[in-house]
Amino acid sequence: MNIIEVWYEFGSNYSYLSVNRIGDLARSRGVAIKWEPFLLGPVFKSLGWETSPFILQEQKGRYVWKDMQRQCAKFGLAWNRPSTFPRRALLPMRVAVLGKDQRWIETFSKRMMELNFVEDVDIDSVEVVSQVLKNLGVEAATTIEQAQSDANKQKLKDQTERALTLGVFGGPTFFVNGEMFWGNDRLDDAMEYAARGRVSQLVNS
């Protein structure tokens, strides 16, 4: 089966679009998804930025919120600009990296995104994450304990290091057979490439 990797983080607004869209797209094309949560903060630091470029570049930041509003309307997704951006999401990201190959990873990820970008909830909270896990039928206390273990903390760091090694500079980023596609604007191209093995209108290099 063809595979698309999605590299994403819960604080990233454009990841919100792709995390919501990718499941149905992949199922309709017979493509398997590999969920790859990673931290954007260290990636931005590697570029010399203390925070999101949407904060550092005032004009771009202003535009991004209009663009998000339009993009969400276009894709039929709910949207409310978060009161905190970028929102800390360390605990849910650790849970995501722990469960990245579990059956609940897609629903968990979509729900975390919804809490951040629709319900404007602080998601870096044991209470919030526990409730989401419980609603998915996942044993919350054990999962959160495992997520906060040293081994799993290191797993998220390794994952982020791997993103940097792969050349990731923002989120979401997709990989298909080693080919990188950056941004929700390239999700359809990446999916086409995954579904057809090779895609006539895409030049493989």
Beta carbon nearer to a copy of itself, 122 or 179 = 179
User: Which residues lie across from 181 on neighbouring strands?
Assistant: 174
Closest alpha carbon to 35 in 13, 3, 11: 3
Interaxial angle between packed helices 90-98 and 126-135, expressed in degrees from 0 to 180 and rounded to the nearest 10: 40
Residues with Cβ within 8 Å of 135's Cβ and at least 6 positions away in sequence, in order, are 111
Beta carbon nearer to a copy of itself, 106 or 189 = 189
Give the separation between CA 159 and CA 166, rounded to whole angstroms. 11
Beta carbon nearer to a copy of itself, 73 or 126 = 73
Beta carbon nearer to a copy of itself, 78 or 141 = 78
Alpha helices by DSSP H, listed for the chain, are 13-29, 40-46, 53-56, 58-75, 90-98, 105-117, 126-135, 140-147, 150-166, 187-196
User: Which residues would be at the binding site for a copy of itself (CB under 8 A)?
Assistant: 47, 57, 59-60, 62-63, 66-67, 69-70, 72-74, 167-170, 179-180, 182-183, 185-186, 189, 201-203, 205
Q: How far is the CB of 70 from a copy of itself (least distance, A)?
A: 5
Q: How far is the CB of 172 from a copy of itself (least distance, A)?
A: 14
Q: How far is the CB of 41 from a copy of itself (least distance, A)?
A: 16
Q: How far is the CB of 142 from a copy of itself (least distance, A)?
A: 38
